[in-house]
């Protein structure tokens, strides 16, 4: 959070540099890359923060792409005063409330091209890009360098500054191809809760339908809610199955492209075939008893290792939200132009719910936030997916619940400095 009531006249050169080292509006990595001609040494100019605090702003240099100090200084007629220090000393965003006027948005396209080429972005560049995604997807501006208020803002702020992110994306936890075995070996989940695929194929056309078991379901890697159940394959013609699975995979590919800045979604959308799982066996048992088979996807959002929100995906596209104790929440969720999803207020707490909470908190214990998905039929469930950020933060909740729920998610202090 920006410092206020800062007396610039009382600060020496080192103290001015120290202020800049603790604001996200100064991007040290970007400054080094943007101005490679600057030499640093312990005798007088130790690092970029010191240089900008005392010399760089006089030379017409920028502290980052998040603050156009040249424009700010010109508008306020600052003369020899460091514009970024002046901005911070006078309350920053909290006072001005017009932060976007001082973003270097004319460089945004350059940043997006850099990202598309696989070049690592600096903290400031990544923040600028994610603010543009927030505006595009959620329809309003956000300052990810300032104290976030809503749940979406907190998720985006974490995404902008999460230094573990690229390391986490290589974790088998986020890929369906290796998730089941990983959950067994590293989290101690049972074979029933963490099944492994019967078969994995790159494309629907590669499936050998003759060798498929009588009952199975197909999941698309990286998007666990994109699945297709077959309780009796004799009821389907091979071409019908191929058509449905091709459609599933195309929908999954589109879903995985929703946000290019989400590394947990950067997986190959392979099709994974599951057979002889607990939910499938439960479905067969219910079928023999003449009972209706209902499939539910339980999506548990964990923040700092604790479940705070439960989304139940039911028939006909219904998504019903509950708290950790399975109390119905008076809110609906939407992700796209289709608007808020219907809810099913008749849902009752399943017998396995406590086990579900325990499994999700075990898997999410070391993640700042995550969405753990579980597939359930009857009284049986399996862990069917893990995502680093719930929907990348791109969702809307009715009745002001984005602010109400944000209190459950405490960002590390470093994210607010």
Give a yes or no: residue 331 inside a domain.
yes
- Asked if 400 and 315 sit in the same domain, the reply is yes
Question: Does 196 lie in the same domain as 122?
Answer: no
Contact at 8 Å (CB) between 157 and 148?
Answer: yes
At 2 the pLDDT is: 42
In the prediction, which pLDDT does 123 show? 93
DSSP string, 266-293: -S---EEEE-S-HHHHHHHHHHHTTPPP
Q: Are residues 221 and 362 in the same domain?
A: yes
The Cα 147–Cα 193 span in angstroms is 39
Distances from the Cα of 193 to the Cαs of 198, 366, 383, in angstroms? 15, 20, 6
Q: What is the mean pLDDT of residues 250-264?
A: 76
Secondary structure element (H or E) that encloses residue 308, with its range: strand 306-313
Residue 237, token pair as written in the block: 């013609």
Q: Which of 145, 179, 209 finishes a domain? A: 145
The more confidently predicted of residues 49 and 292 is: 49
Q: What is the pLDDT of residue 254?
A: 81
Tokens encoding 118: 């696989």
Shared domain for 138 and 188, answered yes or no, is no
pLDDT at 163 over 90: no
User: Looking at 114-128, 157-171, 337-351, which range is the least confident one?
Assistant: 157-171
Q: Which domain holds residue 27?
A: 1-145
Query: pLDDT band at residue 164, thresholds of 50, 70 and 90?
Result: low
Q: What is the pLDDT of residue 175?
A: 83
Structural domain includes residue 160: no
68 shares a domain with 128: yes
What percent of the chain is modeled with pLDDT above 70?
A: 91
pLDDT at 3: 43
Is the predicted pLDDT of residue 226 greater than 80, yes or no?
A: no
Residues 241, 110 within the same domain: no
Mean pLDDT of the chain: 88
pLDDT at 227: 81
What confidence score (pLDDT) does residue 248 get? 87
**pLDDT at residue 339 above 50?**
yes
| Separation of alpha carbons 66 and 167, rounded Å | 25
Q: Where are the beta strands (DSSP E) in 143-294?
A: 199-201, 216-220, 223-230, 271-274
Q: Is this structure's pTM higher than 0.75?
A: yes
**156 belongs to a structural domain:** no
Place of tokens 């890929």: 175
Q: Which of 329, 322, 368 is nearest to 349 (CA)?
A: 322
- As for how many domains the chain has, the answer is 2
Residue 337, domain member (yes or no): yes
- Give the DSSP letter of residue 204: G
How far apart, in whole angstroms, are the C-alpha atoms of residue 155 and residue 145? 13
State whether 17 and 102 are in the same domain.
Answer: yes
What is the spatial distance between Cα 156 and Cα 154, in angstroms, rounded to a whole number?
A: 5
Final residue of a domain: which of 114, 145, 176?
145
Do 56 and 132 lie in one domain? The reply is yes
Mean pLDDT of 245-259: 83
Mean pLDDT of 355-369: 93
Q: What angle do CA 165, 170, 176 make, to 5 degrees?
A: 115
The Cα 168–Cα 132 span in angstroms is 24
pLDDT at residue 413 tops 70: no
The pLDDT tens digits for 129-155 are 999 999 998 988 899 988 888 999 999
Local confidence band at 99 (pLDDT 50, 70, 90 cut-offs): low
Do 134 and 171 fall into the same domain?
no
Residue 159 lies in a domain: no
Mean pLDDT across 256-268: 71
Longest C-alpha distance within the chain, in Å? 83
355 shares its domain with 252? yes
The whole-angstrom separation of Cα 2 and Cα 23 is 7
Is residue 150 in some structural domain? no
List pLDDT tens digits, range 277-316.
Answer: 999 999 989 988 989 888 899 999 999 899 999 999 998 8
CATH for 411: 3.30.470
Are 240 and 349 part of one and the same domain? Answer: yes
Among 145, 176, 201, residue at a domain's last position:
145
For the segment 65-91, the average pLDDT, to the nearest whole number, is 92
Whether residues 412 and 369 fall in one domain: yes
How many Å apart are CA 5 and CA 73, to the nearest integer?
A: 19
Q: Say if residues 195 and 277 touch (Cβ distance below 8 Å).
A: yes
- Four-CA torsion 79, 80, 85, 91, nearest 10 degrees: -30
**Is the per-residue pLDDT at 331 higher than 80?**
yes
162 in any annotated domain = no
* Residue 185 reports pLDDT greater than 90: yes
pLDDT at 376 exceeding the cut of 50 = yes
CB 245 within 8 A of CB 207: yes
Whether residue 93 contacts residue 2, with contact meaning beta carbons closer than 8 Å, is answered with yes
């Amino acid at each position: 959070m920006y410092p206020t009531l800062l007396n610039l006249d009382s600060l020496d050169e080192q103290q001015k540099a120290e202020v800049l080292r603790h604001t996200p509006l100064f991007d040290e990595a970007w400054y080094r890359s943007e101005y490679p001609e600057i030499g640093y040494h312990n005798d007088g100019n130790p690092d970029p923060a010191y240089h900008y605090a005392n010399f760089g702003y006089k030379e017409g240099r920028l502290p980052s792409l998040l603050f156009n100090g040249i424009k700010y200084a010109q508008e306020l007629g600052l003369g020899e005063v460091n514009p970024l220090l002046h901005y911070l000393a006078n309350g920053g965003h909290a006072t001005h409330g017009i932060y976007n006027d001082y973003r270097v948005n004319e460089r945004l396209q350059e940043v997006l091209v850099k990202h598309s080429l696989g070049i690592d972005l600096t903290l400031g560049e990544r923040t600028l890009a994610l603010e543009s995604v927030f505006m595009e997807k959620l329809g309003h501006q956000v300052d990810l360098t300032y104290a976030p208020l809503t749940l979406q803002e907190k998720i985006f702020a974490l995404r902008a500054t999460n230094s573990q992110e690229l390391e986490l994306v290589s974790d088998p936890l986020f890929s369906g191809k290796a998730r089941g075995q990983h959950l067994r070996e590293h989290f101690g989940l049972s074979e029933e809760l963490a099944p492994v695929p019967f078969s994995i194929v790159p494309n629907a056309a590669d499936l050998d339908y003759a060798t498929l078991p009588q009952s199975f379901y197909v999941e698309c890697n990286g998007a666990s809610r994109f699945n297709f159940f077959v309780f009796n394959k004799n009821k389907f013609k091979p071409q019908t199955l191929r058509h449905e699975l091709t459609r599933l995979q195309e929908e999954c590919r589109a879903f995985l492209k929703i946000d290019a800045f989400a590394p947990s979604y950067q997986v190959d959308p392979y099709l994974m075939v599951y057979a002889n799982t607990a939910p499938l066996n439960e479905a067969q048992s219910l079928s023999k008893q003449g009972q209706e088979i209902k499939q539910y996807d339980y999506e548990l959002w964990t923040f700092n290792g604790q479940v705070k929100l439960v989304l139940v995906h039911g028939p006909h596209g219904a998504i019903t939200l509950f708290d950790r104790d399975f109390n119905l929440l008076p809110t609906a969720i939407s992700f796209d132009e289709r608007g808020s999803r219907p809810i099913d207020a008749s849902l009752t707490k399943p017998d396995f719910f406590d086990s579900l909470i325990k499994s999700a908190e075990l898997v999410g214990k070391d993640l700042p936030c995550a969405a753990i998905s579980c597939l359930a039929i009857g009284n049986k469930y399996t862990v069917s997916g893990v995502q680093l950020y719930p929907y990348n933060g791109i969702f809307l909740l009715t009745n002001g619940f984005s602010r109400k729920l944000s209190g459950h998610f405490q960002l590390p202090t470093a994210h607010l400095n």
